[in-house]
Amino acid sequence: MKEVTELVAAWGGSESATAAALLHDTVEDCPPTNFAEIEQDFGSEVVSIVREMTDDKSVPKAERKKLQIVNAAKKSEAACLIKLADKSSNVAAIGSSPPTDWSAELKREYVAWARTVVAPLPYKPNIRTASL
The DSSP secondary-structure symbol of 59 reads S
pLDDT higher for 42 or 124? Answer: 42
Identity of the amino acid at 2: K
Q: pLDDT tens digit string along 32-72?
A: 999 999 999 999 999 999 999 999 999 999 999 999 999 99
Q: Which of 3, 6, 25, 28 is catalytic?
A: 28
Among residues 29, 37, 41, 109, which one is catalytic? 29
CB atoms within 10 A of CB 62: 8
CATH classification of 2-118, choosing from 1.10.3210.10, 3.40.50.10470, 1.20.1630.10, 3.40.50.261?
A: 1.10.3210.10
d(CA 89, CA 62): 21
29 has catalytic annotation: yes
Is the confidence at residue 132, as pLDDT, over 50? Answer: no
Summarize pLDDT for 75-116 with one digit per residue, the tens.
999 999 999 999 999 999 999 999 999 999 999 999 999 999
Annotated catalytic, 105? Answer: no
Q: pTM for this structure?
A: 0.92
pLDDT band, residue 128 (cuts 50/70/90): low
The residues near 132 (Cβ < 8 Å, ≥ 6 apart) are 6, 7, 10
Neighbour count for residue 72 (Cβ, 10 Å):
18
